[in-house]
Structure 1
Amino acid sequence: MTTSAITKVSEQLCFGGKQIRYKHQSAVLHCDMQFSVFLPPQAETARVPALYWLSGLTCTDENFSSKAGAQQFAAKLGIALIIPDTSPRGDDVPDDENAAYDFGLGAGFYVNATQAPFNKHYKMYDYIVSELPELVEAALPLTDKRAISGHSMGGHGALVIGLRNPERYCSISAFSPICNPANSPWGIKAFNGYLGEDRSQWQQYDASLLLRDAKKVAPILVDQGSADNFYPEQLRTASLVEAASLNDVNAEIRLQPGYDHSYYFIASFIGEHLHFHAQYLK
């Protein structure tokens, strides 16, 4: 089945709604892409708002849909879930020369790369903000109400995209986000590779730096586990807390005792995140 520019790959019934996987040719990323969608039961008779979920390093569009348990809450709240892949993929898409997990395929960092050979394909920022919403909103029963969330690298992406586009997203949330990538090992490696050595170009993709100066900020909810093995060095949550306090914005940043970086953590609090977004997606 083809709907507009997207082709259905698979479909399963889930909590009275539909869990669907699509593929399409991306004009932004110059490759074939797959993404997953959960349409709640309410989408059978009306248009519904959407939460865009951005996954972390090494993930595809299937990790969140199969592990987080989000559909049960989305079904009750009448929220669609839009779950893109984490990077461009394909034989012609360049990867890290050492096939590292934290750069290249599966690690697009939701930026628009400017450095060769990555600048042709790695335009994940434009893909998430523009191309994918245009595709799904034209093909599926969605309203123009959007929220954004994500985990780890995807939490970084959700915060950055939400902060840079307050007119497009009603609310923002994140699990274990990379809060200050310009000063974390993961971020420094990725930004050097995708954006080059000019650190002034990194600021537009750093949530802590963006939040300090943001004029308009959507409500934010962040959860970070205290037993996360990437906390605090890679994730630098304190930088986001400091930025939020300096700007006096509507941001709740919670440290959850004993939780780690896994999908067990996400599954434990995803219901609270969906209820958080639901109040702004009305």
Structure 2
Amino acid sequence: MSVFKTESTITTFGGKLLKLSHQSKQTQTKMDLNVYLPKTYEKSAKKTVPVLIYLSGLTCTPNNASEKAYWQPHADRYGFAIVFPDTSPRGANVEGEDDSWDHGTGAGFYVDATTDKYKNNYRMYSYVHEEIQPLLQDEFENLNFENVSITGHSMGGYGALSGFLQNPGKYKSVSAFSPISNPIKAQWGEKNFGAYLGDDKSAWAKYDPTELLAKYDGPTPEILIHVGKGDPFYYRDYQLLPENFYEASKGTKFGGKVNLNLVDGFDHSYYFISSFTADHAKHHAKYLDLI
């Protein structure tokens, strides 16, 4: 019996977008996620379709990227599926989780919370990297979660970099759009890490991509990053700090392998993301052995 309920099936580009829901053991809540199956899926053999996981940013649901990032035509071109998880538990009824847009609901920050208030539900790290992948593998036998890559935007870009660096060899490649690259030095990171992980900043560092670089020991594919120079979270609020990540890579195994692109004019929106989805799709297709 399937653990997923199919809320809707949408024909889009050459394949199908499935809007799914299930009861999560990690978050102890109902969780929504979207899965795009490319046009090659139905004709593929068992465990032959690679997977790209896309982690969304603050306030997003699984619908934002699946509706506005235009991953689907590139997934059809190269032949990979895309998984769009949610960004937090919803309806956990934790006091204060709906008080601000950049914390709590829609802002799980892809950590496993350890503070008493959040530890029972806010377990998005384990949800993304441990729970949903084997469940989806059981449900969709033609997908291959042994050939999987990861990407994301903003909070999700941080989550992709962090998850990749914490799991050497699990993901074939990683990329990020406007990632919160050094969250222990950004207001968003301080606010959420403090709430979810407590006051011990050594616990924060275990999730910070810039801190993780020096400790990483595994395969070293090129890391592709795009950031809009017109993004107020980059040039004004200093939430993203991609240069910190780039500088920290020097002298590590990723020295010379961080392809940081600061692009004029672009902001933080899906207009920006969709403008560079083709570049990121090609990047991942290379490491997924599709080109």
TM-score, length-scaled by structure 1 = 0.96
The yes-or-no answer on 1:259 pairing with 2:261 is: no
CA distance in 2, matches of 1:97, 1:281: 38
2:113 match: 113
CA distance in 2, matches of 1:93, 1:51: 31
Q: How many pairs were matched up? A: 279
CA distance in 1, matches of 2:203, 2:97: 24
The yes-or-no answer on 1:4 pairing with 2:2 is: yes
1:227 match: 230
SS in 2 for 1:161: helix
Change in Cα spacing, 1:97 to 1:23, as seen in structure 2 (3 Å) is closer
Deviations 1:34-82 (A, max 9, x none): 1001000111111310000000000000000001111011111101000
1:242 Cα deviation (Å)? 0.5
Q: Which amino acid aligns with 2:279?
A: E
Q: Which amino acid aligns with 2:281?
A: L
SS in 2 for 1:111: coil
Change in Cα spacing, 1:26 to 1:223, as seen in structure 2 (3 Å) is same
Unaligned residue ranges in structure 2 (runs of 5+)? none
The yes-or-no answer on 1:236 pairing with 2:237 is: no
SS in 2 for 1:202: helix
1:248 Cα deviation (Å)? 4.7
1:218 Cα deviation (Å)? 3.7
Q: Which amino acid aligns with 2:34?
A: S
Do the aligned partners of 2:168 and 2:216 also contact (CA within 8 Å) in 1? no
1:247 Cα deviation (Å)? 1.3
Do the aligned partners of 1:162 and 1:169 also contact (CA within 8 Å) in 2? yes
Of 170, 191, 214, the match for 2:193: 191
Q: In the TM superposition, what are the counterparts of 1:52-63 in structure 2 within 5 Å? A: 52-63=53-64
1:107 Cα deviation (Å)? 0.1
1:77 match: 78
The CA RMSD over aligned residues, in Å, is: 1.2
Do the aligned partners of 2:97 and 2:103 also contact (CA within 8 Å) in 1? no
2:68 match: 67
1:171 match: 173
Q: Which amino acid aligns with 1:89?
A: R
CA distance in 1, matches of 2:249, 2:97: 38
CA distance in 2, matches of 1:151, 1:225: 12
* More deviation, 154-163/246-255: 246-255
Q: Which amino acid aligns with 2:276?
A: F
Deviations 1:201-241 (A, max 9, x none): 11111000101332223431111111110014101111101
Q: In the TM superposition, what are the counterparts of 1:19-30 in structure 2 within 5 Å? A: 19-30=17-28
Do the aligned partners of 2:112 and 2:126 also contact (CA within 8 Å) in 1? yes
Unaligned residue ranges in structure 1 (runs of 5+)? none
Q: Which amino acid aligns with 1:237?
A: P
Identity of aligned residues (%): 43
